[in-house]
Amino acid sequence: MPAHPDLSALLGSRLCHDLIGPIGAIGNGVELLLLAGGGRGDEVALISETVTALSARIRFYRVAYGTARPDQRIARTEVAAILADLFPSGRITVTWTSPPDLPRAEVKAIFLLLLCAEQALRCGGKITILRDEVGWSLTLSSPRLRHDADLWALIDTATLPADLEPAQVQFPLAGQALSQLGRRADIEPGPESLRISF
């Protein structure tokens, strides 16, 4: 019997696909304004920065929330470009070490875990991502790390709380993505660090 399609992932892909076009058009409009000498520099720069950040966020969401067939691949260079635009301020730094060609389904799980990591690094910090012969690991480090054990437990639970907030949806979705890979997250908290591996 064929598996049912993942409607939420298909919806994520559709929304990101539909939004990226208009955002690209705004970016092109800003470039034309700059070339024509129209608008004040500060105003145009603010629009340009906002479009770049929004475009990066949607490209990120497309991988995190979209579909990922078993045969789909994604290049490390594309991942690096998305992450560089996603965290331009340096408040959160990401170091990514992996082979150059990656299964999209694995990167989807990592991106969902990165969304979880943002909750723990609200005051900034460092994320180190490594793919080696053992598997994947994400290490979060910050002197002001906020580890909410109840939130991280949502990655590995079949029963979700009725009061789950929209800002917490990435935790059970990360669990689903890992389950589809046949993996489970191993979470090791420390005083100023948190390591997630699978």
Give me the pLDDT at residue 15, please: 79
Q: Is 141 exposed, middle or buried (0-12, 13-18, 19+ CB in 10 A)?
A: middle
pTM of the model: 0.85
Which residue reads 């012969």 in tokens? 133
Q: What is the pLDDT of residues 67-123, one digit of tens each?
A: 998 899 999 999 999 999 888 878 999 999 999 999 999 999 999 999 999 999 989
CA distances from 34 to 23, 29, 38, 41, 88 (A): 17, 9, 6, 8, 22
- Is a pLDDT exceeding 50 seen at residue 17? yes
Q: What is the pLDDT of residues 31-56, one digit of tens each?
A: 777 777 766 667 777 777 788 888 88
